[in-house]
Chains A and B, each alone.
Chain A
Amino acid sequence: MNWISNVMPPKVRSFLRRETPENLWVKCPESGELVFHKDLEANLFVVPGSGYHMRLSPKARLANLFDEGIYEDLPTPDAPVDPLKFRDVKRYTDRLKEYRAKTEAQDCVKLAAGRLEGMEIVAAIQDFDFLAGSLGMAAGEAIITGMTTALNRRAPFIIFTASGGARMQEGIFSLMQMPRTTIAVQRLREANLPYIVVLTNPTTGGVTASYAMLGDIHIAEPGAVIGFAGPRVIEQTIRERLPEGFQRAEYLESHGMIDMVVQRQDMRATLARLCSILTRTPRAAGAA
């Protein structure tokens, strides 16, 4: 960078810098193999060789989930912002602004409704890129709204979880989202509407210890880290190395905590099959 770039306003700077996109080739974190970004995108961000499931943006996931990629964006409700007037090294409100600008979303939960092989469903997605998908008041309120919408439309509810746990910056209000979301889950259950949880990498802490483990069916993506306490905390507690594959989707499956581990390519078909059976809706002819 020269002195011109130093005095230029940031917007102009970013405009000028658009010569070559940096991530044309993406490295698989597991095998180290290099994949061309277009190939990765076409493969739903699953590395073709190693089968490693990389993070998928909420938009890409929704587009893949619904018929023809068409869905309705459901508004998320307003929630109180920064009840504790929190600041650590940075003001919480500043941090929020930063993430809102980065992700173009208000908070980490996105709601959508649409058709899955003809059946109406309501879906929620947690975006790990927004403050680690942490469960705060906005996220809690959004999940409750999503479940209530499913209830009103008498539609199955599917949630894709990804979260580091509670949003520390909201303190006790974050903890309170555990019982609050549980109430909404109970209402779905009482209405006999399917509630399917898809656990994606990673799902931990208060999220796992509330709505993510209360589904009628638990599905996980391969290799996803799922647990209550983070591996670092456990290692500090027991002062031993953790067993191989600890807290991975496959480990949880063999320990009886989830129903199945499903490849991302098969997720849509699996969800459709399950929703169809649970709602006793025969699928349209020709549906895979």
Chain B
Amino acid sequence: MKELLRGGNCSSRPRALLMSRAKNQIVFGKGRVRLRQFQQFLDFGERNRQFPPSPATDYLTMTFPVSPQDQAALRPASARSYLDFEKPVAELEAKVQELRSLAADGEGVQISDELFRLEGKSEKALADLYASLTPWQKTQVARHPQRPHFTDYVKGLITDFSPLSGDRQFGEDAALICGLGWFRGYAVCVMGQEKGTDTAARIKHNFGMARPEGYRKAVRVMQLAARFNLPVISLVDTPGAFPGVDAEERGQAEAIARATDASLSLGVPNIAAIVGEGGSGGAIAIATCNRVLMLEHAIYTVASPEASASILWRDAAKAEDAATTMKITAQDLYRFGIIDAIIAEPVGGAHRDPAAAIQAVGDAVQRALEGLLPLSHEEIRRSRADKFLAIGRTV
């Protein structure tokens, strides 16, 4: 088992490979785009998760306690990956695992007490750590490569999902996925950004950064939803709208403005759940909803911490300061009345138990939806507008 995992472990994937791929050029729409600038996206997982593994505790190549359900939910061949600040927990969990394998070798009786004690300690360390994450740590959790993405939510919550493609004007944008389906007995329209889980998928989905076509598709699908009286569920997870020549050329700003406009015109209820990063205009375009929910460790920003830092401090390295001063966490935003509810994540973040996180989002969305269904179309529209107009007036 140990050997097997070692072979397929993501930690053994050479970082150099990723870097060299990142330097290649690929074709993006009309323009030839170098991928170097996307390194942060390509390897944000690598960068965040790797701290030098010491020879004594080679936890990165060890197995970890996962339930069969978890195992199914986790992506293939990936052991648990740790963020920098999770190091103490990682060490504890590694020790637990060490003991567990010793116990399995037949020395169980003598060490079961110790194992029990350590397990408790490690669980507590994890819970304590996640109970008091700093805004910057939350930013890293929100971007965790194993955090469930749009596609995972659709798999877990929507039956008969039927994706709809294209804006009928220019093209299709895989960064923002729209579709129809059944959500717990309700026929709905679903939309959201998909970041992708491996390099190929990330490139295909443009790291969740939509172009004008994506937003125009969203407008088209919202109008479809309105005609067929389908509530709209938005799952927001984007670093922001794509900043590129082609996007500007085709009116990125106008597309976003029209999407916000369309969201505010809807007579059917719409509910947004910010499940990862809610980045700027790229997020608000589909997050102007009757109810805005947010996962416990998600972030919602006017500009990414990196962008804010380079604007305000003229230094992108101040991202950590920016994350703190900009008040981007669900807890702050709830206090400000920007979001309507916080959805609790499994202990240790959504990436530790994606299935549970997905169902928690489903429960919260269902509750919000059922509260809105009795309202008339006029009430839905008016209450949405009133809600946004009230934001900030009582701070």
Contact = CB atoms under 8 A, between A and B. Distances in A.
Contacts of A213: 251, 253-254, 257-258
Contact of B260 (A84, A87, A178, A205): A178
Given A183-B385, A206-B281, A209-B256, A229 B302 contact: no
Nearest to B38: A237
Q: Taking chain B's interface residues, is the majority helix, strand, or loop, or is none over half, making it mixed?
A: helix
Interface stretch (B109-117, B141-149, B239-247): B239-247
B373 interface: no
Interface stretch (B13-21, B172-180, B305-313): B305-313
Interface stretch (A19-27, A108-116, A149-157, A239-247): A239-247
A210 B280 CA distance: 12
A214 interface: yes
Interface string B251-265: 111101110110111
Contacts of B51: none
A75 interface: no
B220 interface: no
A247 B260 contact: no
Interface stretch (A6-14, A43-51, A164-172): A164-172
Contacts of A182: 257, 260-261, 264, 288
A100 interface: no
A176 B392 contact: yes
A168 B300 CA distance: 13
Contacts of A170: 302
Nearest to B313: A88
B33 interface: yes
A208 interface: yes
Interface string B352-395: 00000000000000000000000000000000010011011101
Contacts of B247: 228-229
A89 B284 CA distance: 28
Given A88-B325, A208-B253, A213-B251, A176 B388 contact: yes
Interface in B332-355: 333, 336, 338
A139 to B, nearest CB: 12
Nearest to A226: B253
Nearest to B31: A238
B333 A238 contact: no
B310 to A, nearest CB: 9
Given A175-B302, A206-B281, A212-B253, A168 B388 contact: no
Interface in A203-246: 205-206, 208-214, 227-229, 233-234, 236-240, 242-243, 246
Contacts of B307: 233
B87 interface: no
A172 B245 contact: no
A212 B32 CA distance: 30
B244 A234 contact: yes
B327 A175 contact: no
24 contacts: A86-B325, A166-B303, A168-B311, A168-B326, A171-B302, A172-B301, A180-B391, A182-B264, A186-B385, A205-B281, A209-B241, A213-B254, A227-B253, A228-B252, A234-B244, A234-B248, A238-B34, A239-B33, A240-B32, A246-B245, A255-B249, A255-B250, A255-B251, A257-B251
Given A209-B252, A238-B37, 20 more contacts: A88-B312, A88-B325, A89-B312, A172-B328, A173-B338, A175-B302, A179-B288, A179-B388, A180-B389, A182-B261, A182-B288, A183-B389, A185-B261, A211-B257, A228-B243, A228-B248, A229-B243, A234-B244, A234-B245, A239-B34
